[in-house]
Structure 1
C-alpha cells in the first residue's frame, strides 16, 4: 500500500468515525426528546395531587404502613443535625429514623449523641446484611423513634444494609444524610403502597439542589439559587433527569434508577434480593436493576413508581473538584451494573426492561460519553482533511448545543407548570441562563469526568471518593 493509499484510508476512517459519533449523539438526543414529550403528556393528562399535608394526613393517617427512614452518614458533622431534625419532623403517623454512622472520621457520632441526648442501647438486627462490625447502638432519650447505629466503615451500601437489618417496619426509606425531605414526602411516597395489592415494590421522588436555599432547624425556609455556576448547572441537570427522564421511564415501566438520595422500598423485597451490593460504587442503580431481574425471573407481577411531587433537597457538589469525584463514581457504577447484568440486554425474557431499559443504559453510559468526546476531536479533523462537509460539523455541534438547551428549557417549563419550586422570576432566569451556558465548557468537563469513571471501571478500582460538603448553614 502506497503512502497516498494509506493517507486516503486514514482520512476515510476519520470520516466514518465522525459519522458514527454524529449518529450516537443524534440517537441520544432523540431518546431525550422522546422522554421530554412523554413526560409533558403525562403531566398534561394526569390528575394533579394538589392535596395539602393536612389533607394527606386526614386521608391516609389510618392507612399508612409504618416506615423506617435509613440515613447512612459518613463525615456529615456539618449537616447531620439539620438532617436528623428534618427527618424527625416528617409528617407521618408512624416512622422511625435510623442513622448509620459508617465509621466517620469526623465527629458525626459525637454531634448526634450531644444534640439528640443519645444513650447506648442493646438493639438486635432482624437481618444482618452488612459485612462490617456493628460497634454500638444508641437510642435517643428525647426521641424514642431515633436510633443511631455506629459501625466500622464499609461505604454507603454496607451502611444502608446495616440500617435495613435494624428496621422492623414493612416499608423502608433510604436517603442521603445530607438530604432534606419536604414534610409531606413520606406520605406521598407511601401512598402508592396503600392503593395496590402488593405490586408496588419501590417508589422514587424528585431530587432538587439545596445549594443556595435557606435551611434552618432541619427545615427548608427559603428556596434560592446559588450564586456559583456549578450548583446552577446541576439544577438544570436534575430537572432534565427527574422531570423528563424519570417521569417518562416510569410511565413506560422502564424506570431503572431510584436515586440514592431518596427511595422507598418494601423491606421484604430488598432483603429477598440481598440488600445493596458492597462491590459496586453505583449501589442505587444496581439494586433497582437487580429487583427488576429478580421479579422478572420469578414471573411476579410488580411495579416500580416515580412520584414527581415527592421533593427531596440535597447538597450538590459546590465546585468542580467535588463534581469530578461524583460523576466519575456514577459512571463507574453504571458500567459495573451493566457488566453484572449484561445478559439482560436485548433479552426478551426480561420484557421491556431487557428490550428498552437496559439498551437505554448502554446508549447513555457505554456508547454515549466516548462517542461525544471523540466527536469533538474527530469532526474538526475530518473537516481539515476535507472528507467531511463543514455543514455536517455545524449540524453536529448544533445537535449537541441546541438540543441540549431545548431539553433543559423544556424541563424548566415542566418544573414551573407542575412543581413550582423556583421562588422568583429572577431565579427562573438564572436557571435558564445556566441551561444555555452549560453547553460551553461544563458539559464537556462532565464528559471528561465520565471518561475518568470509565478508566476506573477498566482498572477495577474500588476507591470511593466522598464529595466535600460545605454544610446547609452556609447554603444561603
Structure 2
C-alpha cells in the first residue's frame, strides 16, 4: 500500500467518523426539542394543580391511600434526627416512616433511639427481600408512626428492600434520608393513585438542587441559588431532565427513570418483581425498566406517572471529584441496565418501551457521549484534511453549543411560566447565565466523566464511589 493510498483511507475514515458524530449529536438534540414541545403541551393542557397545601388536604383527606415512607440511612448521625422529624411532619392523613440503618459505622442508630424514645419491637417482616441480616427492630414511643430497622450493611437497594418487607401500606415512598421533601409532597405524589383504576404502579417527582437554599431543622425555609458555578450548572441539568424529558416521557407512558431520591410505588408491584436489585449501581433505573418488562411480558395494563409539582430537594456535588463519582456511577448503572435487559432493545414485544425508549437510552447513554466527545476532536481534523464541509462543522458547533443553550433557556422559560420556583429575577438571570456558560467546559467535562463510567463497567468495578457532602447552606 502506497503512502498516498494510506492517507486517502485515513482521511476518509476521519470523514466517516466526523459525519457519524454529527448525525448522533443532531439526533439527540432533535429528540430534546420534541420532548420540550411535548412537555410544553402537557403543561398547557392539563389541569393546573393547587399551589396551596391546605386545598390539597381538604380535597384528598378522605381519598388518600396509606403510605409508608422508607428512608435508608448510612452514617447520617449529624442530620438524621432533623431529617426524620421533617418526614414525620409531612402533611398526609395516614403515613408511617420506616428508617433503615444500613450498618452505619457511626452513631446513627443511637441518635435515632435517643431522639425518638425507641424501644425494641416484635414487628414481623412480611416479605424478606434483603440479602443481609436484620439486627433489631424498634418502635418509637413518642411517635407511633415511626419504625426503626437496624441491619447489616448491604448498600441502599438492600436497605430499601428491608423497609419494603416491613411496610404494611398499599403505597411506599422511597427517599434518600438526606433529601428534603416539601410538606405537601406526599399528597401530590399520591394524587395519580387516587384517580387511577389500579393501573398506576409508580410515580416520580421533580428533584431540585438544595445548594444555596436555607434549610433548618430538616425542612426548606427559603429557596435560593448557590453562588458557585458548579451547583448552578446542575440546576440547569435538573430542569432539563425533570421538566422536559420526564414530563414528555410520562405523557405517553415511556418513562424509564424515577429518581432514587424520591419515588412512590405500589408496594404489591415491588414485592411481585422482587424489589430492587443488589448487583447494580443504578438500581433506580433498573427497577423501572424491570417493571416495564414484567408488565409487558405479563400483558397487563399499567402506568408509570410523573408529577413535576412535587419537589424533593437534594444536595448537589460541589467539587469536580464529587461530580465525577456521581456521573460515572450513573453512566455505569445505565450500561448495566441496558446489558441486563438487552432483549428489550428494538423488540416489538415490549411496544413503545422496546421500540422507542430503550433505543433512545442506547443512543443517549452508550453512543451519544463518546460521539459528541470524539466530535470535538475529529471534526477539526476533518476540516484540516479538507474532507468535511465547513457548513457541517458549523452545524455541529451550533447544535452542541447554541442549540443546547436554546433548549436550556426554553426549559427555564417553561419552569417560570408554569411552576415559578425560582425566587427572584436575579436568581433567574444567574441560572440563565449558567445555561450559556455550561457549554464551554462543563458539558465536555461531563462527557469525560461518563466515559469513565463506561470504563468502570468494563473493569467490573462495582465499588460505591461516595459523593462528599458539605451540608445544606446558603453558600453551598
Offset of residue 422 of structure 1: 0.7
* Aligned position for 1:44: 44
1:38-74: CA deviations, max 9, x gaps? 1011111111012521121112111111100001112
1:253 aligns with 2:257: no
* Aligned position for 2:97: 97
1:413 aligns with 2:428: no
Matched residue SS, 1:445: helix
1:6 aligns with 2:3: no
* Aligned position for 1:109: 109
* Aligned position for 1:167: 167
1:120-157: CA deviations, max 9, x gaps? 32322110000011112222221111112111111111
1:35 and 1:248 in contact (8 A); partners too: yes
* Aligned position for 1:265: 265
1:236 aligns with 2:219: no
1:387-445: CA deviations, max 9, x gaps? 22333222211110011111111111111111111110000000001000111111111
Segments of structure 2 that go 5 or more residues without pairing to the other structure are none
CA–CA distance in structure 1, aligned partners of residues 351 and 203 of structure 2: 20
CA–CA distance in structure 2, aligned partners of residues 135 and 203 of structure 1: 31
CA–CA distance in structure 2, aligned partners of residues 441 and 178 of structure 1: 30
CA–CA distance in structure 1, aligned partners of residues 75 and 405 of structure 2: 36
Instruction: Give the number of aligned pairs.
Output: 476
CA–CA distance in structure 2, aligned partners of residues 51 and 424 of structure 1: 18
Correspondences of 1:252-331 after superposition (within 5 Å): 252-331=252-331
2:408 and 2:435 in contact (8 A); partners too: yes
Matched residue SS, 1:149: strand
CA–CA distance in structure 2, aligned partners of residues 335 and 217 of structure 1: 38
Offset of residue 114 of structure 1: 2.9
1:335-392: CA deviations, max 9, x gaps? 1000011111111111111111111111100110111111111111112222223332
Matched residue SS, 2:215: strand
1:85 aligns with 2:89: no
Matched residue SS, 1:472: coil
TM-score between the two structures when normalised by the length of structure 1: 0.98
Offset of residue 85 of structure 1: 1.7
1:366 aligns with 2:366: yes
CA–CA distance in structure 2, aligned partners of residues 24 and 78 of structure 1: 46
1:262 and 1:312 in contact (8 A); partners too: yes
* Aligned position for 2:448: 448
CA–CA distance in structure 2, aligned partners of residues 317 and 178 of structure 1: 13
1:138 and 1:147 in contact (8 A); partners too: yes
Matched residue SS, 1:376: helix
Offset of residue 474 of structure 1: 6.5
Matched residue SS, 2:280: coil
Matched residue SS, 1:83: helix
* Aligned position for 1:430: 430
Offset of residue 9 of structure 1: 0.4
* Aligned position for 2:389: 389
Offset of residue 464 of structure 1: 0.9
Q: 1:254 and 1:376, CA in 2 relative to 1: closer, same or farther beyond 3 A?
A: same
CA–CA distance in structure 1, aligned partners of residues 10 and 18 of structure 2: 12
Offset of residue 473 of structure 1: 5.1
1:282 and 1:332 in contact (8 A); partners too: yes
CA–CA distance in structure 1, aligned partners of residues 421 and 178 of structure 2: 19
* Aligned position for 1:123: 123
1:213 and 1:225 in contact (8 A); partners too: yes
1:78 and 1:471 in contact (8 A); partners too: no
CA–CA distance in structure 1, aligned partners of residues 20 and 468 of structure 2: 38
Matched residue SS, 1:278: coil
Offset of residue 171 of structure 1: 0.3
Matched residue SS, 2:243: helix
Offset of residue 469 of structure 1: 1.0
1:66 and 1:171 in contact (8 A); partners too: yes
CA–CA distance in structure 1, aligned partners of residues 343 and 153 of structure 2: 32
Matched residue SS, 1:387: coil
CA–CA distance in structure 2, aligned partners of residues 426 and 79 of structure 1: 31
Q: 1:319 and 1:394, CA in 2 relative to 1: closer, same or farther beyond 3 A?
A: same
* Aligned position for 1:138: 138
CA–CA distance in structure 2, aligned partners of residues 109 and 473 of structure 1: 25
Q: 1:475 and 1:86, CA in 2 relative to 1: closer, same or farther beyond 3 A?
A: farther
Matched residue SS, 1:225: coil
1:79 and 1:472 in contact (8 A); partners too: no
Matched residue SS, 2:76: coil
CA–CA distance in structure 1, aligned partners of residues 78 and 23 of structure 2: 46
